[in-house]
Structure 1
Amino acid sequence: MKIHYIKEPRCMKCGKPVETMEQEYCQDCAKQKHIFDQGRGLWIQKQPVSRGIYQFKFHNKRYYASVFAEEMMKRYEEWIYRNEIEEIIPIPLYKAKQRKRGFNQALLIAKELSILSGIPVNENAVFRIRNTKPQKILNPMERSRNLKGAFGVKKTWEVKNKVLLIDDIYTTGSTMDRVAKVLKKAGTQKVYFLTISIGQGL
């Protein structure tokens, strides 16, 4: 089955589809002020995309990472370079969760994207301080509370002005906001993101 990219018009902030060209922001972004600066997702979070992500994360289909990274470059190469990204940072998993899964899916994509773009990836810039509940089972308010104090920035990290976060799914932006907050506190000026898929709101 052919998977189509998200078509315009889209939210100027997170990239979710919007109804008209005159509508600058989706309902989620219109309601809340995000800490990240801008982001994009390749596809809408529905079949067959959701099944592909599930296979990637839970059935050890690690080679999917190169496919996703190639699609990101195909779709967003101009956007990446226009934003003058200095470093690619994957959203970290909690250590116990990563040991159980065997890998961090965001890191695999980030490494492949780094090879294709020539932009360095740093898997040690941001770390997860504590384990959290799966975001998919929580409402927007619970998502934000769930991630409070969940991330930190390594003191040894050489601060970059413009960074690109990589994750598998964007829904409400809680994860991106929490990571953007600690990065900006450390001195980063602009935080962007790319994901495989993007939800349509809750």
Structure 2
Amino acid sequence: MKFPGGDPPISSWSGALLGELRETVLSSLFPPRCPICDRVLSPGERICPSCIPCIRPMQRPLCLKCGRGIASEEAELCENCRRRRFSFDFGFILLEYSDEISESIARIKYHGRREYLSFYGELSAGLIGERLLSLSLDALVPVPLHRERLRRRGYNQAELLAERIGELLKLPVYPAALHRVRNTKALKNLNPEERARDMQRAIRPGRIPDSLRSVCLVDDIFTTGATIEACSSALREAGVAKIYSLCLAGRAER
């Protein structure tokens, strides 16, 4: 077989062949699973057809600050954002929180299902990619994990999610922009005031170039906003002018 322009280098086609072989072997050993129910998927599927109804994008009207669903457009802000002042400009919450989404995120964080994040990254880019690009972002900044938790888990789910979104939208990712200097308790066990206090002590600015003026924080769940607020405060301290947030899931107010 003749190739236009001459035969390709052996390293070129052998590398491609090895890549395809690797993917085939990995697919055989670790077949893709549904990010919602964890069943093995049929070829070409990204999610079980029966699980598609579990993917419920956050519905309007939305809080103009955090992005959660609210009962009335006249309110403009959810109750949480009326009670608290946040440093970020505004945020996006992709999905309405549910038992199924909770279990999916728990499998990512505690049972090694990092491959789900590719699906959620693609979903994020598909649902709000155009809006993210309209913000003229300099970078995506994942919410950091403390080094001890990172060592135990082996990866930061927010960083992997940000990397997939960044890959699809051609946006750089700056995981070193923030540091978690304290290994905080599980926030679900704390009241809102305790969450805010612990997180403000835990997050510090990292390596932030002067050119970084507009960023979007990336995390998995938005609850009271304590984590996003601590990260926003640290970025403001470092001179970042525009700060937005993207979280996979949160509870609607209605």
Same fold per superposition (TM over 0.5): yes
SS at match of 1:84: coil
Report the counterpart of residue 85 of structure 1 in structure 2: 137
**C-alpha contact 2:70 2:252 (8 A) present in aligned 1:** no
Give the deviation of 1:157 after TM superposition: 2.4
Which has the higher Rg, Structure 1 or Structure 2? 2
| Distance (whole Å) between structure 2 residues aligned to residue 153 and residue 144 of structure 1 | 17
What do you get for the CA RMSD once the two structures are aligned? 1.2
What's the secondary structure of 2:75's corresponding residue?
coil
Please tell me whether residue 178 in structure 1 is matched to residue 226 in structure 2: no
Distance 1:157 1:36 in 2: 17
Per the normalisation by structure 1, the TM-score is 0.95
Partner of 2:109: 57
Q: Residue in 2 aligned with 1:26?
A: 78
Q: Residue type of the partner of 1:161?
A: R
SS in 2 for 1:194: strand
**Distance of 1:67 and 1:58 partners within structure 2:** 18
Paired position in structure 1 for 2:58? 6
User: CA offset at residue 95 of structure 1?
Assistant: 0.2
Which of 107, 111, 120 matches 2:163? 111
Give the corresponding residue for 2:90: 38
Kindly provide the CA deviation profile for residues 100-155 of structure 1, in whole angstroms up to 9, marking residues without a partner as x: 0111100110111110010100111111111101111111111011112211112x
DSSP-derived class of the 1:68 partner: helix
Letter in 2 for 1:157: I
**Divergent runs of 4+, >3 A:** none
Structure with higher helix content: 2
Q: Which has the higher contact order (CA 8 A, sep 6+)?
A: 1
* Aligned pairs, number: 200
1:99 pairs with 2:154 = no
Aligned-partner Cα distance in 2 for 1:5–1:147:
28
Alpha-carbon separation, structure 1, partners of 2:121 and 2:80: 26
Is the Cα contact below 8 Å between 2:221 and 2:248 reproduced in 1? Answer: yes
Report deviation, 1:36.
1.0
> Aligned-pair distance for 1:45?
1.7
Among 150, 173, 183, the residue aligned to 1:121: 173
Residues 171 and 200 in structure 1, CA contact (< 8 A), matched pair in contact too: no
| CA distances 1:9-28 after superposition (whole Å, capped 9, x unpaired) | 11011111111122200000
Deviations 1:68-120 (A, max 9, x none): 11111111112101211111111010000110011110011011111001010
Corresponding residue to 1:158 among 185, 209, 212: 209
Distance in 2, matches of 1:190 and 1:172, equals 21
Hey, what does 2:192 align to over in structure 1? 140
Shift of 1:55: 1.0
SS in 2 for 1:13: coil
